[in-house]
Structure 1
């Protein structure tokens, strides 16, 4: 089911936002965060949501606008939100490049740039999960889903699939480590 996969991708994205947040805390303490992991998170966001996840949502949203314009209006301008997320991500990538190149940059500015991106993504995902996905499930017809599915040429997620790319090895290891720490904290 398309919505189930999009929801799973949102949960995967939340894991990455949590890692970015953890690395930001390291940076805020004045320690050196894992820039390899941060770079992999940025690469992931440049690749997967932009190229695969958002275009799928756009297909669903276009159908929703036809089937239930009122519900679509309540969801708002998804394309603009996706564009804003991409713009904020570019600011994060530039800030990280500046830090790594030892350019003059205030720590609080770097913090604000990364925090803005994390918070925008979380608000956006929450809104889609709360408003957009339920509206689509309610309004779209079986033939809409068939049409959307046939339009998707979606390879597996490069980070959260078996055939994951080497680019994301360090990031995958970090995700597993955080999940194990969280699990250990529960016992």
Structure 2
């Protein structure tokens, strides 16, 4: 395995951990009417969304795109699968925007039906997990087949940045989310 492949797999593992936090928050909506139960934490959900929208969209997806471009240039692997994944990236951005719009409305004091919020969050969560699984079953095979020289060429094409949640010195913006991840 190359450094490139290891980075992509690590990003996916970390994203699944964050999605698990989101799933737990979504589940709290089902118990919201019961006395003494924990309430969903909108601030924590916003942190999850900030992370999911910023780190993957600014660093992980561009790294994947650089891989796809390299594979396209060298006519290697499954181009149809890569095109499908590219389309999913756009659909994920749209889904994240829908979630963000609802959360921002709540933060502004607007009434948002909880069932609608729960359904939108659940759809987003499912889309994310299914996307990760599809990537790993399809395009990651092609990326894993690349040698170290190809891996380094691709890594040189993109900006590198440590993950704000899983770096040695984590970003203070995500303190609540980091605490949730540590409890897993």
RMSD: 1.7
**TM-score, L = length of structure 1:** 0.86
Aligned: 1:148 with 2:154:
yes
SS at match of 2:96: helix
Structure 1 outlier segments of 4+, above 4 Å: none
Worse overlay, 124-133 or 32-41: 32-41
Quick check: 1:58–1:78 contact (8 Å CA) kept in 2?
no
Q: Distance in 1 between matches of 2:155 and 2:102?
A: 38
Higher RCO (CA 8 Å, separation ≥ 6 residues): 2
Q: What is residue 60 of structure 1 aligned with on the other side? A: 67
Listed as ranges, the gaps of 5+ residues in structure 1 are 180-187
Deviation at residue 93 of structure 1 after TM alignment: 1.2
Listed as ranges, the gaps of 5+ residues in structure 2 are 33-37
**TM-score, L = length of structure 2:** 0.88
Q: Distance in 2 between matches of 1:76 and 1:41?
A: 27
SS at match of 2:167: coil
Q: Distance in 2 between matches of 1:20 and 1:137?
A: 29
SS at match of 2:78: helix
Quick check: 2:4–2:152 contact (8 Å CA) kept in 1?
no
- Structure with greater helix percent: 1
